[in-house]
Amino acid sequence: MDKFVIEGGAPLHGVIPTSGSKNSALPALAAALLTEDKVVLKRVPRVRDIRTMERLLTDIGSYITVEGERVTLETPVIVSPEAPYELVKTMRASSLVLGPLVARAGRARVSLPGGCAIGARPINQHLSGLELLGAKISQEHGYVEAVAAGGLKGTRIVFDRITVTGTEDILMAAVLAEGETIIENAAREPEVVDLSNLLIKMGAKIEGAGTSVIRIEGVAKLRGAEHEIIADRIEAGTYVIAAAITGGDVTITGCVADHLGALTVKLAKAGVRVVQPDETTLHVLPGSVIHAVDMSTEEYPGFATDLQAQYMALMTQADGISIVKETIFENRFMHAQELMRMGANIRLEGREAIVAGRSRLSGAGVIASDLRASASLVLAALVAKGETVIDRVYHIDRGYENIEGKLAAVGANIRRVE
Ligand code: EPZ
């Protein structure tokens, strides 16, 4: 298993380019199942989760050509409308094939995701949405089966709680349903909007993506399309925090600055200067003191749960006590234990972490757990005294394209060892 060896202490200086969004590319890849025509996706990040999705789609019946960040998909026939356990257990976003398979093939058999490091992560909202659209849902042997032999019928769906991939799954089912579907309490994430833009290019009739109410008029068929995936706001946000924690001077290019409003406003309160030369660039300037500022994760446009671990690492360097609250997942503080091993002073109380800064972090041997927890350990290692060895970096490879190359290019002392 690969490890990262990081020598802390160097402030970062230079330019970091942003890759395409993993969490937008995943539903976009699944959307290709909705048509027999060719779909071309550009700016697809070459990360593990994307390769897992490409393998799953190939097993389902897609012919996929990968040329760097350009992925071409053609699915003339759905050969096997299934997502087997061995794939789903490595990536729960496999549930994104549910909606497209029921819509295109009239049935889907998907392994229940099972828990993951950050929580139970059920897909009950996805299933109740499909049921309302007319699918018959059954569960056995750890698999869920959705059947709609006569096709899906549009209806009104109100999610009990906001779910990003649940919204995306139902959106992809509704575009081929008969009649109108209204999705209420929909997720407003930019990735939902990006998916909607792709579906509209494919001929779907959708209004309101990005708001809590999405209206879809079903169509009989969808055609192929060409689409460039939006920038990864979580990757960009991670590098903004990397610059802040090292007191560096870093320009993050190719991002959508507007998608990081909650982060940049919060950082400004913490005394971190982030300027926005244009809408695709964020420039983090060397700061003075980092102030302790409380943060609570919320659905978009609130502070992203996927940046919570990274923010907690930053707060270990703040000049006081801050409270970091995780409202989206029930167990997303695994990074806290590892940060404490590096010298951080954190107390966990249910959904809240009380972070007492400023801690002098020292390098240690730590273990990555989930994708974003691992990123926060990299950030802590950049500012820790001495050498940190992070094990199981395959977690990081799931969602960050060439993180060690991007960081080394701005002066970080980081290397990957087999
Ligand atoms: C998406 O996961 C992202 N993944 C996650 O990013 C992100 O953390 C999450 O949204 C929240 O922003 C992708 O887009 C591929 P949810 P998703 O459904 O859709 C509960 C990363 O690091 N829930 O919005 O699975 C659920 O348990 C990943 O890139 C139900 O109860 O998240 C959670 O507590 C990690 N029933 C909350 O809702 C359901 O049917 C939000 O989950 C669905 C979800």
Q: Are residues 246 and 367 located together in one domain of the fold?
A: yes
- Kindly state whether residues 259 and 332 are assigned to the same domain: yes
| Residue 263 CB contacts under 8 Å (≥ 6 apart), including other chains | 237, 240, 241, 303, 304, 307, 311
Tell me the C-alpha distance between 78 and 132, whole Å. 24
Query: In angstroms, rounded to a whole number, what is the distance separating the alpha carbons of residues 47 and 122?
Result: 24
What is the pLDDT confidence band of residue 89, given thresholds at 50, 70 and 90? confident
Hey, whose CA ends up nearest to atom 25 of ligand 1? 165
Provide mean pLDDT across the span 21-25: 98
Mean of the per-residue pLDDT values of the chain: 96
* Residue 289 phi, psi dihedral angles, 5° rounding: -95, 145
**pLDDT tens-digit series, residues 304-354:** 999 999 999 999 999 999 999 999 999 899 999 999 999 999 999 999 999
Strands (E), 295-351: 295-296, 321-325, 346-349
Structure confidence at residue 42 (pLDDT) = 98
Q: Are residues 47 and 175 in the same domain?
A: yes
Average pLDDT (257-279) is 97
Residues 50, 133 within the same domain: yes
Q: Please tell me the distance from the alpha carbon of residue 31 to that of residue 175, in angstroms, as a whole number.
A: 10
Please enumerate in sequence order all residues whose Cβ is within 8 A of that of 34, keeping only pairs 6 or more positions apart, or say none.
100, 103, 104, 172, 175, 176, 199, 202, 222
Range of the domain at 303: 3-18+231-417
- Exposure string (b/e) for 196-235, b if CB count within 10 Å is 16 or more? bbbbbebbbebebbbeeebbbebbeebebbebbbbbbbbb
Spatial distance between the Cα atoms of 296 and 249, rounded to a whole number of angstroms: 27
Ligand 1 centre distance from Cα of residue 232 (Å): 16
- What single-letter amino acid sits at 91? M
| Whether pLDDT at 44 is above 70 | yes
Query: Per-residue pLDDT for 362 more than 90?
Result: yes
pLDDT for residue 368 is more than 90: no
What was the pLDDT predicted at 90?
87
Mutation choice for ligand 1 from 164, 192, 230, 400, CB with most ligand atoms inside 8 A: 164
| pLDDT mean over 161-184 | 98
User: Nearest residue CA, atom 5 of ligand 1?
Assistant: 306
Number of helical H runs and strand E runs in the chain: 14, 24
Distance (Å, whole) CA 142 – CA 118? 20
Domain stops at, among 163, 196, 228: 228
* Pair (159, 131) in one structural domain: yes
For 210, left (φ over 0), alpha (ψ -120 to 50), or beta?
Answer: left
Between 104 and 91, name the one with better pLDDT.
104
Domain's final residue, options 204, 228, 252: 228
- Phi-psi group of 106: left, alpha or beta (phi > 0 → left; psi -120 to 50 → alpha; rest → beta): left
The yes-or-no verdict on residue 115 having pLDDT over 70 is no
Q: How far apart are CA 358 and CA 356, in angstroms?
A: 6
* Cα 297 to ligand 1 centroid, rounded to whole Å: 13
Decide if 312 contacts 336 (C-beta within 8 A).
yes
Find the mean pLDDT for residues 272-287: 96
**CA 121 to centroid of ligand 1, rounded, Å:** 7
Mean pLDDT of 46-74: 97
Q: Measured in angstroms, how far is the CA atom of residue 130 from the centroid of ligand 1?
A: 17
Q: Kindly report the backbone phi and psi dihedral angles of residue 126, in degrees, each rounded to the nearest multiple of 5, phi listed first.
A: -60, -45
Catalytic residues: 116
Which of 112-126, 173-187, 386-400 is least confident? 112-126
Q: Round to whole Å and give the CA distance between 388 and 366.
A: 7
**Mean pLDDT throughout 241-268?**
98
Asked if residue 253 and residue 372 are part of one domain, the reply reads yes
Residues 153 and 254 in one domain: no
Q: Are residues 151 and 248 in the same domain?
A: no
Say whether both 163 and 242 belong to one domain: no
Q: Among 22, 158, 165, 234, which residue has the most ligand 1 atoms within 8 Å of its CB, making it the best to mutate? A: 165
Compute the distance between CA of residue 99 and CA of residue 27 in angstroms, rounded to an integer.
10
Calculate how far, in angstroms, residue 66's C-alpha sits from the geometric centre of ligand 1: 27
Residue 410, pLDDT above cutoff 90: yes
Taking CA atoms only, the protein residue closest to ligand 1 atom 43 is 123
- Same domain, residue pair 263 and 221: no
User: Please, are residues 373 and 347 in contact by the beta-carbon 8 Å criterion?
Assistant: no
Cα distances (Å, whole numbers) of residue 186 to 72, 146, 300: 29, 21, 11
Domain edge (last residue) among 212, 228, 244: 228
Give the amino acid at 319.
D
Structural domain count, the chain: 2
Residues 300, 266, single domain; the answer is yes
Task: Report pLDDT for 1.
Answer: 86
CATH of the domain at 184: 3.65.10.10
- Ligand 1 proximal residues by C-beta, below 6 Å: 23, 26, 93, 119-126, 161, 163-166, 191, 305-306, 328-329, 371-372, 399
Residues 342 and 375 in one domain: yes
